[in-house]
Structure 1
């Protein structure tokens, strides 16, 4: 089931033969994470890209004062990793944590490199995944500075449907850049 979801996601990005997809998927593995498990930690070098087949994760950073900030959520049929760490092989600046039981297909670095070298459209697949990250984080940055907290809350609901039923409110508040009390007031006013 999990590899079928990844296969469908890949086929949405590129044209790929059944033989190519099987060879690529044979280099991937399944991994399940329990709530609060880390898929990757700040300071470690990211060696894998995760494709979520079931569950929710969040990316978080811990600032110099030791405060935790949620910067991203990922749901089903999305890829997640610290992309800068993965590409540059430098220590990750954020951690990735399961918010609920999360099932993934793990795409190890060597599988991605094999795809670049052996799939007819492997480079295109890598480029499209990179573009997704760029567009998401560009929009995220603009969202944080151009919109009011109420608008950010509404945008969150559009980007991540049902997130409010799956993620603790303090994480949503952190993502929005407001206090949990402010989030509660915001929800009442909408």
Structure 2
């Protein structure tokens, strides 16, 4: 697999020259992870920001009782990392684990500044995608406060139809902040309402 899907994605935000593309092809690399492997673990410093070419990951926090709290899922054409740890090079608050065999394009922390210098528009690209991620995160917080669990599930299903079929129900429940039993109850209600 090549980094071509990433080039297409970046070109939706900024224009890359042939020279820029050649530099990215030289500096970036593709890494394959097996289902169950971690891209980063809580407490480690995140060295990579990853663009998903193929596969699915979950980003989650493990509390002191060993309970998993899922923040997000990433599939093809999405980004996956602990962005706070990557930017600050401090210990990660989150784990990023592959739910399927996953292939990513890796932006290594030690070359990102070099890429910004040689392709100045790349800095604008990353600013734009981080802004989008920030807005999405804020909207999710508001939904968590203002929507019922049923409404949150319907929103999840509508917004991310390609994810629901790929992950276990207990993970969707964790993402929604409810038990898997409550999710089952919601799904039963929805079937009855049809």
Fold similarity call, TM over 0.5: yes
Question: Which shows bigger deviation, 27-36 or 169-178?
Answer: 27-36
* 1:91, distance to aligned residue in structure 2 (A): 0.5
Residue 127 of structure 1 aligns with which residue? 127
| Superposition RMSD in Å | 1.3
Number of aligned residues: 190
How far apart are the structure 2 equivalents of 1:129 and 1:47?
19
TM-score by length of 1: 0.95
Structure 1 residue 65 and structure 2 residue 62: aligned?
A: no
* 1:151, distance to aligned residue in structure 2 (A): 1.1
Is the CA contact 1:85–1:92 (under 8 Å) kept in the aligned structure 2?
yes
Kindly report structure 1 stretches of 4+ aligned residues shifted beyond 3 Å.
none
How far apart are the structure 2 equivalents of 1:42 and 1:13?
31
Structure 1 residue 117 and structure 2 residue 124: aligned?
A: no
Is the CA contact 1:48–1:107 (under 8 Å) kept in the aligned structure 2?
yes
Residue 166 of structure 1 aligns with which residue? 166
Deviations 1:2-41 (A, max 9, x none): 4010111111111110111220231111111111111110
Unaligned runs of 5+ residues in structure 2 are none
Unaligned runs of 5+ residues in structure 1 are none
TM-score by length of 2: 0.93
How far apart are the structure 2 equivalents of 1:109 and 1:149?
38
Within-5 A mapping of 1:46-85: 46-85=46-85
Question: Which shows bigger deviation, 157-166 or 94-103?
Answer: 157-166
